[in-house]
Structure 1
């Protein structure tokens, strides 16, 4: 009902401005006739109508600006509520969930029982679904989308295959092309092991931190990077990364989002 009232108010203002503009035009025509007996009256009438057009147009502009301000305030409140909900609810749940899943899987494996075939299939299917969801979420919930609504960020999950040799293999990725590196090893692999897995903390490169990517420092394809550990309890699975073109694309809030997704992915992997 409120929307309907605003709609009719805008329509009324637009109609009124149109009639006043038409009246001002007619008055200007009469005032331009040197032989008209009502020339002076028409001149003042036209000026008054023109002033009224300006006032009505200003009222409509003020109404539109007030609605835009309210929309921006509502969007800001919604974003703040989402951040509050995520940081204080989802993020707090994801890590304990991973630890619980890891301990559950360890206890089950310790029994020596052979998992039923159906359970094995379900584990594999759901783990793949969780991995894909985490990657798509990391690519779409961080950096801005482009004009076509596609992500400008790129996410990747690297599985730890050889800790001693600092080797990680690309398991899956999502987001903007092209595909990320198929293997992380050498200095970049050492960075993944020591700075992320051993430290059990995120690495954030970009304008907010002043750091640069240690995976490919010479690359001009991305300037923002977030890399977080994928761990459930003491179990290490690998590293989840997100990168974006501009050094301002990925913020501190995005680090929390990516870490929460990594924890949920780790919980699924632990059960697999």
Structure 2
């Protein structure tokens, strides 16, 4: 009943259009066997029905366009609400938790933790990294329509040597192939100076920028890289890329910053 209530007008127009089409077909048959004024009358009726079909089709097109416009407005409103939630809640919360976690880890006595705690820290940090990476791959670019698999690919690169500008792949999720094992030299310098020491790097149609890691890549056209920190502690870079330059948006930048903040908090508590 709910479907009928929402679509009764379309259904009514479809019935009217079908009836008019049948009428045009019948008058064309009858008109072929008629003569004189009877033939003229049938031609007039058929022409009127044809015009009516065009009018009904125009109304249906207008209704469809109105529904598309409403859907676009709702999507824009949802994106704005989501961005506001990231800006006012998730990002500040992740930043505050990261500062608290870093301060707690720094203030703790520099003693070796018990073996049970060390094992828990290792297993939980891996689980948290995997969860963050899956979220980044699933919640950004729209999944493939046929397979429902992620079209985005995410990766966490750990800062392993600041002096050599070297980052090492810790884990990844999303579409194949597997990302590069390490980012170093000029690419590592980009990660260090443009991302980790700043706030983020966003390549795509929205910014007009291209990836500095692989400018001519045929596998991805949009990239977001954000720093993973907790207070003053720097852990690495969280990255997501997608095939089209329109797949990633400003809202996804804020999502990635929230995920990176939560990951930084977890790492501050798990790593000595």
- TM-score, normalised to structure 2's length? 0.84
Contact 1:231-1:238 within 8 A present in 2 as well: yes
1:33-112 alignment to 2 at 5 Å? 33-35=33-35, 38-107=38-107, 109-110=108-109, 112=111
CA gap 1:54/1:214 in 2 versus in 1, 3 angstroms:
closer
CA gap 1:47/1:256 in 2 versus in 1, 3 angstroms:
same
1:174-202 deviation per Cα after TM superposition (whole angstroms, max 9, x unaligned): 122111111222232333333333x2422
CA gap 1:80/1:116 in 2 versus in 1, 3 angstroms:
same
Q: Distance in 2 between matches of 1:69 and 1:219?
A: 34
1:7-59 deviation per Cα after TM superposition (whole angstroms, max 9, x unaligned): 33322222222222222222222222245773333222222222222223333
Q: Secondary structure at the match of 1:239?
A: strand
Contact 1:102-1:270 within 8 A present in 2 as well: yes
Q: What's the counterpart of residue 160 of structure 1? A: 159
- Unpaired runs of at least 5, structure 2: none
Contact 1:228-1:258 within 8 A present in 2 as well: yes
RMSD: 2.8
Contact 2:157-2:170 within 8 A present in 1 as well: yes
1:1-272 alignment to 2 at 5 Å? 3-35=3-35, 38-107=38-107, 109-110=108-109, 112=111, 114-115=113-114, 117=116, 119-148=117-146, 149-197=148-196, 199-209=197-207, 211-217=209-215, 219-272=217-270
Q: Distance in 2 between matches of 1:63 and 1:217?
A: 43
1:118-161 deviation per Cα after TM superposition (whole angstroms, max 9, x unaligned): x4444333322221122122223334444433333322111122
Q: Distance in 1 between matches of 2:216 and 2:17?
A: 59
Contact 2:230-2:264 within 8 A present in 1 as well: yes
Q: Distance in 2 between matches of 1:247 and 1:50?
A: 45
The range that moved more, 257-266 or 223-232, is: 223-232
- Unpaired runs of at least 5, structure 1: none
Q: Number of matched residues?
A: 269
CA gap 1:33/1:147 in 2 versus in 1, 3 angstroms:
same
CA gap 1:39/1:185 in 2 versus in 1, 3 angstroms:
closer
Q: Distance in 2 between matches of 1:157 and 1:216?
A: 17
- TM-score, normalised to structure 1's length? 0.84
Q: Distance in 2 between matches of 1:202 and 1:35?
A: 80
Offset at residue 257 of structure 1 (A): 2.2
Q: Distance in 1 between matches of 2:212 and 2:44?
A: 74
Q: Distance in 2 between matches of 1:215 and 1:51?
A: 59
CA gap 1:184/1:22 in 2 versus in 1, 3 angstroms:
closer
CA gap 1:100/1:24 in 2 versus in 1, 3 angstroms:
same
Offset at residue 231 of structure 1 (A): 0.9
